[in-house]
């Protein structure tokens, strides 16, 4: 008797990296939830993690200074000042 396992993946997880290079401030969201926030705008490590998890990496930049440095919303969907790069 043989056992077959099939995996069906619907969609891909999105890793969203929102940053403000002038402030050296960066926020990472997974499934619309903030998972990290701090001083590091380097994208290479985030891209590597997204690829290893089979996710999609999307990069954004803050356009509203009021949402930078500790005031970033906990949900990606609630960011008001942002542009996709």
Q: Count the helix, strand and coil residues of the chain and give each as a percent rounded to the nearest 5.
A: 20, 35, 45
Q: How much is the pLDDT for 56?
A: 86
Confidence check: pLDDT of 62 > 60: yes
Question: Which helix (H) or strand (E) segment is 74 a member of?
Answer: none
pTM for this model (two decimals) = 0.76
Confidence check: pLDDT of 74 > 80: yes
For 16-29, write each residue's pLDDT tens digit. 989 888 888 888 89
**Are 50 and 28 in contact, with CB atoms under 8 Å apart?**
no
Q: How much is the pLDDT for 2?
A: 52
pLDDT band per the 50, 70, 90 thresholds, residue 10? low
């Amino acid at each position: 008797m043989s056992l077959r396992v099939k995996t069906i993946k619907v969609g891909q997880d999105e890793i969203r990296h929102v940053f403000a290079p002038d402030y050296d401030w960066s926020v990472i969201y997974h499934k619309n939830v903030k998972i990290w926030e701090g001083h590091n705008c380097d994208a290479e490590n985030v891209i590597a993690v997204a690829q290893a998890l089979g996710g999609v990496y999307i990069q954004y930049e803050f356009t509203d200074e009021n949402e930078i440095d500790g005031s970033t919303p906990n949900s990606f969907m609630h960011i008001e000042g942002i542009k996709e790069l």
